[in-house]
């Protein structure tokens, strides 16, 4: 029962990691951009959530109504104003620029919010739990996992059943020919980044309810997101969920053996899967 509990908790944690990863995966899939500042954007979203909740007294989940569109707008402006200029045949400029962005966001957050750890108050949601077949499951982790499934399903549906998704795939396939179809790739990329940061907003707020956060933790969230994406296979959103779950389970199992091993065992699972399946478990986009 103990071990079953560990695995279930790890699975639910995987939902949060999948939310960290989904935006990364989307952006890489559409424009081959590896966004080093992704983790810091998650933390930025958590702070935006904090600001909204403390200014308005809204519940953090209701604050999403403001945080998601705000992050979306930031994403579009960031892409049109900065990141589009870095895209080309060379992979290095976007890496360098998003690395710089990461540093800027961290320092900006330090200035505005200081280095003190913060947390969002979600009332009873933080501690509520359900007893299911002898297991005691937190409502927040369950909710996070459910949100991850809905978000990934929604992204997948957008990709394969809407004109926007068709445009994403066309631009990803061949930018020149997509332009000939009347698609302005700079705009499409902006919309993709807006969508990715909308998901990031959800991830950041859920993170900020679950644990305390400070401006320095973005790097760790980026690594978890990356690992989930790579384990699942690049360009496959459901694979990203599987990757998040594997990472989460590896971490909780490691922590069960020795609390100090949580993070390490996640990295080891990642390296192990990379060694046996260099392209991840489910590579390529699947319909």
Contacting positions for other proteins (CB under 8 A): 163, 166-167, 169-170, 172-174, 176-185, 285
**Other Cβ atoms within 10 Å of 26 Cβ, number:** 25
Closest separation in Å from C-beta 73 to other proteins: 23
Q: What share of the chain is helix, strand, coil (3-state, %, to 5)?
A: 80, 5, 20
DSSP conformational letter for 234: T
Nearer to other proteins, 129 or 174 (CB): 174
Nearer to other proteins, 116 or 173 (CB): 173
Helices (H), ranges, the chain? 2-31, 38-56, 60-78, 84-86, 92-113, 139-161, 163-173, 175-180, 185-210, 218-232, 237-257, 262-276
Question: For the chain, how big is the Rg over CA atoms in Å?
Answer: 19
Nearer to other proteins, 2 or 90 (CB): 90
Tokens 């499409």 correspond to 188
Closest separation in Å from C-beta 156 to other proteins: 14
Phi, psi of 67 (to 5 degrees): -70, -40
Closest separation in Å from C-beta 195 to other proteins: 17
Q: Please report, to the nearest 10 degrees, the dihedral formed by the alpha carbons of residues 171, 18, 206, 94 taken in order.
A: -40
Nearer to other proteins, 89 or 111 (CB): 89
CA dist 261 and 135 (Å) reads 23
Nearer to other proteins, 80 or 169 (CB): 169
CB 196 within 8 A of CB 75: yes
Closest separation in Å from C-beta 238 to other proteins: 16
Cα(first)–Cα(last) distance of the chain, in Å?
37
Closest separation in Å from C-beta 158 to other proteins: 14
Nearer to other proteins, 201 or 237 (CB): 237
CA dist 286 and 238 (Å) reads 9
Closest separation in Å from C-beta 178 to other proteins: 8
Closest separation in Å from C-beta 163 to other proteins: 7
Nearer to other proteins, 118 or 179 (CB): 179
CB 119 within 8 A of CB 126: no
């Amino acid at each position: 029962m103990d071990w079953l509990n560990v695995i279930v908790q790890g699975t639910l944690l995987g939902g949060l990691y999948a939310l960290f990863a989904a935006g990364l995966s989307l952006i890489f899939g559409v424009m081959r951009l590896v966004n080093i500042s992704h983790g810091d954007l998650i933390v930025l979203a958590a702070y935006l959530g904090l600001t909204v909740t403390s200014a308005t007294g809204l519940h953090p989940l209701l604050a999403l109504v403001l945080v998601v569109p705000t992050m979306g707008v930031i994403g579009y402006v960031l892409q049109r104003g900065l990141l589009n200029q870095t895209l080309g045949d060379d992979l290095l400029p976007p890496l360098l620029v998003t690395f710089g962005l990461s540093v800027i966001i961290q320092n900006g957050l330090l200035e505005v919010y200081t280095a003190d750890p913060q947390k969002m108050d979600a009332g009873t949601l933080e501690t509520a739990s359900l007893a299911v077949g002898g297991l005691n499951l937190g409502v927040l982790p369950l909710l996070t996992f459910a949100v991850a499934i809905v978000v990934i399903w929604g992204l997948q549906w957008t990709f394969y059943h809407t004109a926007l998704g068709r445009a994403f795939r066309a631009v990803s396939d061949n930018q020149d020919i997509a332009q000939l179809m009347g698609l302005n790739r700079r705009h499409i990329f902006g919309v993709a980044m807006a969508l990715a940061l909308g998901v990031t907003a959800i991830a950041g707020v859920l993170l900020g309810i679950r644990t305390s956060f400070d401006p320095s933790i973005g790097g760790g969230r980026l690594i978890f997101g990356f690992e989930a994406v790579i384990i699942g296979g690049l360009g496959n959103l459901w694979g990203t969920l599987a990757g998040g779950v594997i990472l989460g389970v590896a971490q909780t199992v490691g922590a069960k053996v020795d609390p100090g091993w949580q993070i390490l065992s996640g990295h080891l699972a990642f390296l192990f899967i990379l060694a046996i399946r260099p392209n991840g478990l489910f590579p390529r986009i699947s319909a």
